[in-house]
């Protein structure tokens, strides 16, 4: 019997196990701030949620559609800048400011898509970078609105007040935690819907073979544009949330190439074109880069007796390693591309599939 290469049938959606695990995880995460009050832990989780939102959003066009945009910082920046500029200079409450921000992201995505989706492969990647750089330069030079390189420092996020009573107060990180969680769950649900929809099928067909897809009646640019718009919508939302949460943005941290690269890597490392790949990628990236940033790795080496804290190596690591947390992104992406091109989740699935195939072959004998 030949090795069976059965696919997990996509159209029937997630397995029962995934659904139960997902609901359990969401319930646990919803209860998390009730039991853990450590602001650092809450902060890490908000960072994780933001990474999930952006990874899932990119996954729609990049993972399912195979259109590797390395310019999603443009949409992230649009979200962050629109909301913060409106709040800081015009006093527009963020939940109102979010509407023009998201509308702008949709509009820009439609225009950018119509232009760049005529290009294929590496040319598309280059064009997406150029577009994002143009937005960064606009943020840098349009000083009257964006305050240029100095960036925007929020003086505070106004509380949500309904009928004279304060509903949400943003003095702690917890409201951001719940907003992040809600949006992360929403993007996962959107991905589940997307995967089983006509749109999702069409994007996967486009990823596999554009000419074949076109011959089967798929207008390529139209469907790529729709997927890019959904992707940009959630990326901009994440940008707005990020800006409000951190309280400071500048062209480099809100529209820089590093943002685009981090978004792509989140999806790639976890595994593209899967519902939970970006979640896995976000967990790995956030955990590892925080471990570097917070010197946890050096502490571990010291605790393990491998390096003395007072030795020159120990001092060197403490001084430098925290500044180079992007290093881990570099190594991770190299490892993933070289050794597990389907991402971490893909590698796990492949191994499981091989095991099943072996078991089936063994049983048949």
Q: What's the DSSP call for residue 323? A: G
One residue of 334, 351, 352, 359 binding other proteins per CB under 8 A? 334
CB count, 10 Å around CB of 213?
A: 20
Is 356 a binder of other proteins (CB under 8 A)?
no
Q: Which residues contact 92 (CB under 8 A, 6 or more apart)?
A: 86
Question: Does residue 20 belong to the site contacting other proteins (CB under 8 A)?
Answer: no
Backbone angles phi and psi of 223, in degrees to 5: -70, -35
Query: Which residues in the 50-89 window bind other proteins by CB under 8 A?
Result: 66, 68, 70
CA dihedral in degrees (213, 214, 216, 217; nearest 10)? 130
Q: Is 362 exposed, middle or buried (0-12, 13-18, 19+ CB in 10 A)?
A: exposed
Closest Cα partner for 177 from 25, 284, 31? 31
Footprint of other proteins on 223-252 (CB under 8 A): none
Angle ∠(13,15,20) on CA atoms, nearest 5: 115
Nearer to other proteins, 101 or 127 (CB): 127
219 is an interface residue for other proteins by CB under 8 A: yes
Q: Which stretch binds other proteins (CB under 8 A): 27-35, 50-58, 167-175, 256-264?
A: 256-264
Structure tokens at 134: 């143009």
Task: List C-alpha distances in Å: 334 to 161, 269, 328.
Answer: 48, 10, 10
**One residue of 111, 159, 209, 351 binding other proteins per CB under 8 A:** 209
217 binds other proteins (CB under 8 A): yes
Q: How far is the CB of 316 from other proteins (least distance, A)?
A: 9
User: Which pair of tokens denotes residue 140?
Assistant: 């840098």
**CA–CA distance, 77 with 105 (Å, rounded to integer):** 9
Rg for the chain, CA atoms, rounded: 22
332 belongs to the binding site for other proteins (CB under 8 A): yes
Query: With contacts defined by CB under 8 A, how many residues of the chain interact with other proteins?
Result: 70
Q: How many CA atoms within 13 Å lie on the side-chain side of 242?
A: 30
Which of the residues 135 through 154 are near other proteins (CB under 8 A)?
137-138, 140-141
**b/e for 332-356, b at 16 or more Cβ within 10 A?**
bbeebeeebebbbbbeebeeebeee
Shortest distance, position 264 Cβ to other proteins, whole Å:
7
The residue within the footprint of other proteins, chosen from 213, 228, 236, 307 (CB under 8 A), is 213
**Is 216 one of the binding residues for other proteins (CB under 8 A)?**
yes
Comparing CB distances to other proteins, the nearer of 213 and 244 is 213
- 364 sits near other proteins (criterion: CB under 8 A): no
Three-state secondary structure call for residue 106: helix
d(CA 53, CA 180): 8
Applying CB under 8 A, the span of 19-27, 92-100, 300-308, 318-326 interacting with other proteins comes to 318-326
The Cα 50–Cα 253 span in angstroms is 14
Q: Examine residue 324 and tell whether it contacts other proteins (CB under 8 A).
A: yes
Whose Cβ is closer to other proteins: residue 10's or residue 43's? 10
- Site for other proteins (CB under 8 A): which residue of 189, 323, 351, 354? 323
98-137: contacts with other proteins (CB under 8 A):
115-116, 118-119, 121-123, 125-127, 129-131, 133-134, 137
Asked if residue 312 binds other proteins (CB under 8 A), the reply is no
Return residues touching other proteins (CB under 8 A): 4-7, 9-11, 66, 68, 70, 115-116, 118-119, 121-123, 125-127, 129-131, 133-134, 137-138, 140-141, 196-198, 201-202, 204-205, 207-209, 211-220, 257, 261, 264-265, 268, 273, 320-321, 323-324, 326-327, 329-334, 337-338, 341
């Amino acid at each position: 019997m030949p090795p069976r290469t059965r696919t997990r049938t996509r159209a029937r959606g997630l397995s029962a196990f995934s659904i139960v695990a997902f609901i359990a995880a969401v319930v646990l995460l919803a209860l998390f701030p009730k039991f853990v009050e450590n602001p650092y832990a809450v902060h890490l989780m908000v960072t994780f949620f933001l990474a999930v939102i952006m990874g899932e959003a990119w996954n729609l066009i990049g993972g399912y559609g195979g259109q590797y945009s390395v310019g999603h910082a443009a949409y992230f920046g649009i979200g962050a800048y629109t909301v913060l500029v409106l709040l800081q200079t015009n006093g527009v409450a963020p939940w109102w400011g979010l509407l023009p921000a998201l509308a702008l992201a949709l509009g820009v995505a439609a225009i950018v898509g119509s232009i760049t989706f005529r290009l294929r492969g590496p040319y598309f990647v280059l064009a997406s970078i150029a577009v994002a750089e143009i937005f960064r330069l606009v943020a840098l030079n349009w000083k009257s609105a964006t305050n240029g390189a100095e960036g925007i420092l929020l003086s505070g996020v106004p509380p949500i007040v309904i009928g004279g009573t304060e509903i949400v107060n943003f003095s702690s990180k917890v409201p951001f935690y719940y907003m992040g969680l809600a949006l992360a769950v929403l993007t996962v649900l959107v991905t589940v819907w997307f995967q089983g929809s006509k749109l999702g099928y069409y994007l996967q067909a486009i990823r596999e073979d554009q000419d074949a897809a076109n011959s089967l009646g798929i207008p390529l640019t139209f469907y790529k544009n729709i997927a890019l718009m959904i992707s940009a919508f959630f990326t901009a939302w994440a940008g707005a949330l990020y800006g409000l949460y951190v309280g400071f943005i500048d062209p480099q941290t809100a529209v820089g190439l590093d943002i685009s690269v981090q978004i792509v890597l989140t999806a790639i490392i976890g595994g593209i074109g899967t519902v939970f790949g970006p979640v896995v990628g976000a967990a790995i990236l956030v955990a590892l880069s925080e471990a570097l940033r917070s010197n946890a790795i050096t502490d571990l080496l010291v605790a393990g007796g491998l390096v003395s804290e007072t030795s020159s190596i120990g001092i060197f690591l403490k001084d430098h390693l925290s500044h180079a947390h992007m290093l881990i992104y570099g190594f991770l992406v190299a490892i993933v591309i070289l050794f597990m091109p389907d991402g971490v989740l893909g590698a796990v699935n492949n191994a499981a599939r091989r095991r099943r195939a072996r078991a089936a072959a063994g049983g048949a004998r």
